[in-house]
Structure 1
């Protein structure tokens, strides 16, 4: 069945370019949803729109009863001004599909077309999940609130991410799927240091929040260096500091923002706890105050061993054994809200390389110049179809 995906390649490229032109942010994706639903209508696949966001869930019922397998694609873009110069570049100023979500929608629709046309041969049901807000880590949680894992009850779930996430040296068209943890947790913290503003010539009359913030930043670096075992991966990164309005004045407040990453939940929770404790302690020692907010994102992405093995075997049918990687030196420290689905059901999250130096598609994600090798689209669709064939049986 998966072999039929190759004939869709040109259609997939054209469809991806349409999605690429209309990037939208967060949970409200009206144009994206409209185009998606129009394509599902063309195929005659029934679907349901979410009530809480622009997510869509479609259903393909096989000719015989059996298990239910879910396939997921995310749909949101990023607040980045596109600089690719592509003829089909974003029409929405300041917004861009800089992480490949436009291709995820496209590849899942390609798989849907083939599966729907051959549904009489399927022993079970395929649930297609098109979610919003992966970038803000709320889309999968909204899907779960909407009951995506029930009616009918989902038995396994699979997802795929295109690009250069694992290693830009991996050839385009290669699938990477590993058992166990494959991506880190990702969380966002905000520290607001409050001191007492005064003129720069008389610092003794105030409480300098810039000095306090500087000491907090240095101290937070020591959590990973001195408190987390060296055998456990963890990251604490400060990405933004803001404070002050004049070169010769001490401000009243400084804001610090950063992110944490971990491969284990206990390490993740420990980082969150210690950031707050250290910041509060340092602020107090300088006669300042520090408000702490941890905006919890997604837990680590942990693949079920059996489902990862099944996905690897299904991908090998499409790409050959040399086209599938099942072991990498270490999990990726990026995050993905697909983790919430894997907390509910066994499944696997895969990566499809689109790295091609000659086509300039080996650059980083979340970048104004991000692009993908369009030649791999049919392979992504085919891997999804092959997984369904192997999981449900025929």
Structure 2
């Protein structure tokens, strides 16, 4: 089987991950990352297209005969976090770090291309390798969709490394389950407006800090008192900013938070009630509020037929380290869900949680890193999926 060849290039996959780890970049524009990835693609000889809007890349492998079209996706962007791992290949970009494993995702997909490309004449159909930007902002998938990345595509697979589904899942285990696996995630911003005044004469103003405090408390009741316990929903406030002096009432306060859900109607209900509750609370105290609802991505929901196909071929790769059931999905979000709105998709989870190696820190942590011993298995999973999906059609 072709996937076994990934073990022979394990050192190359690790080296690519380390190279990418040194040059983390944020958002849509990843010039050094794109230059590195395209250099690897040129070395392999595979053709690719570049986006004019961002740093995303679409590489294409065409088989000898017509057939289905499969897409495989990796994200490339990093996070605004100062690294604290003391790794010899730690970030060279101050205040920026691959703290979510996207460097590993990119390296694993590049490893899969290195194995698949020499076998192209044995395949029927086409593989599109999508290297995406701005996943952390839930915006990068949209750019690739606008570029036509999924036109004519029959199915898409993606993968996330780390411990998203729990650090107790042993390193080297792959999780492949049908149905909802990750929640929707959206951001909301509330600008509370009052009237500033001196702290000694609060009656002469309208206190936005007081209003903000009541809004925060009122919002907490939405998921606990308005959403059924059988419908998971989270509303979290992560930022409050207002005031500059201890003895002055400011004119405004900014509140930011996030919502998570698995059902679209719950997702929309949360947004609607945030607006209603915050506006009426502010009005009750004589102030006002404006809401910006930044919708990120819907829930990641794996297609049942595609997941069954994946489970069948991944069993050979991972043996007893294949999980086909989880007790509960993750409330973390992923814009891979946007691809699943266009074509059947399946999102996999590759555990790299190993306490003995210090790779069990949570995602977005300054000490986050991955167990590099599992990287070749990520490449092997992509290769196995492509081989089963396209070979011998």
Using the size of structure 1 for normalisation, the TM-score is: 0.98
Kindly state the Cα deviation for residue 230 of structure 1 after the two structures are TM-superposed: 0.6
Aligned residues: CA RMSD:
0.7
Map 1:69-80 to 2 at 5 A.
69-80=70-81
Distance in 2, matches of 1:363 and 1:240, equals: 23
Distance in 2, matches of 1:251 and 1:270, equals: 31
Distance in 2, matches of 1:75 and 1:154, equals: 22
For structure 2, which runs of at least 5 residues remain unmatched after alignment?
none
Kindly state the Cα deviation for residue 300 of structure 1 after the two structures are TM-superposed: 0.5
Which residue does the alignment assign to 1:47?
Answer: 48
Kindly state the Cα deviation for residue 201 of structure 1 after the two structures are TM-superposed: 1.1
Distance in 1, matches of 2:321 and 2:303, equals: 21
User: Which secondary structure state, in structure 2, belongs to the residue aligned with residue 190 of structure 1?
Assistant: strand
Distance in 1, matches of 2:146 and 2:16, equals: 30
Which residue does the alignment assign to 1:178?
Answer: 177
Distance in 1, matches of 2:40 and 2:13, equals: 12
Which residue does the alignment assign to 1:126?
Answer: 127
Map 1:83-94 to 2 at 5 A.
83-94=84-95
Which residue does the alignment assign to 2:156?
Answer: 157
Residues 1:20 and 2:21 are matched in the alignment: yes
Which residue does the alignment assign to 2:256?
Answer: 257
Distance in 2, matches of 1:107 and 1:180, equals: 25
Map 1:1-394 to 2 at 5 A.
1-150=2-151, 153-320=152-319, 322-394=320-392
Kindly state the Cα deviation for residue 28 of structure 1 after the two structures are TM-superposed: 0.3
User: Which secondary structure state, in structure 2, belongs to the residue aligned with residue 82 of structure 1?
Assistant: coil
For structure 1, which runs of at least 5 residues remain unmatched after alignment?
none
Instruction: Between 309-318 and 13-22, report the one with greater CA deviation.
Output: 309-318
User: Which secondary structure state, in structure 1, belongs to the residue aligned with residue 159 of structure 2?
Assistant: strand
Kindly state the Cα deviation for residue 393 of structure 1 after the two structures are TM-superposed: 2.4
Post-superposition Cα deviations, 1:46-82, rounded to whole Å, max 9, x if no partner, equal 0000121100000111122110100000000000011
How many residues get paired? 391
Post-superposition Cα deviations, 1:101-126, rounded to whole Å, max 9, x if no partner, equal 00000000111111101111112211
User: Which secondary structure state, in structure 2, belongs to the residue aligned with residue 192 of structure 1?
Assistant: strand
Post-superposition Cα deviations, 1:297-336, rounded to whole Å, max 9, x if no partner, equal 001111100111111222111011x211111111100000
Distance in 2, matches of 1:365 and 1:312, equals: 26
Distance in 2, matches of 1:315 and 1:380, equals: 11
Post-superposition Cα deviations, 1:129-179, rounded to whole Å, max 9, x if no partner, equal 0010000111100000111112xx111000000001001010111011110
User: Which secondary structure state, in structure 1, belongs to the residue aligned with residue 135 of structure 2?
Assistant: coil
Distance in 2, matches of 1:313 and 1:89, equals: 37
User: Which secondary structure state, in structure 2, belongs to the residue aligned with residue 53 of structure 1?
Assistant: coil
Distance in 1, matches of 2:149 and 2:245, equals: 52
Post-superposition Cα deviations, 1:231-263, rounded to whole Å, max 9, x if no partner, equal 000000000000011111111101000000001
User: Which secondary structure state, in structure 1, belongs to the residue aligned with residue 129 of structure 2?
Assistant: strand
Distance in 2, matches of 1:65 and 1:110, equals: 24
Distance in 2, matches of 1:325 and 1:238, equals: 33
Post-superposition Cα deviations, 1:35-54, rounded to whole Å, max 9, x if no partner, equal 00000000000000012110
User: Which secondary structure state, in structure 2, belongs to the residue aligned with residue 69 of structure 1?
Assistant: strand
User: Which secondary structure state, in structure 1, belongs to the residue aligned with residue 137 of structure 2?
Assistant: coil
Using the size of structure 2 for normalisation, the TM-score is: 0.99
Kindly state the Cα deviation for residue 202 of structure 1 after the two structures are TM-superposed: 1.1
Give the 4+ runs in structure 1 shifted more than 6 A.
none
Distance in 1, matches of 2:97 and 2:259, equals: 25
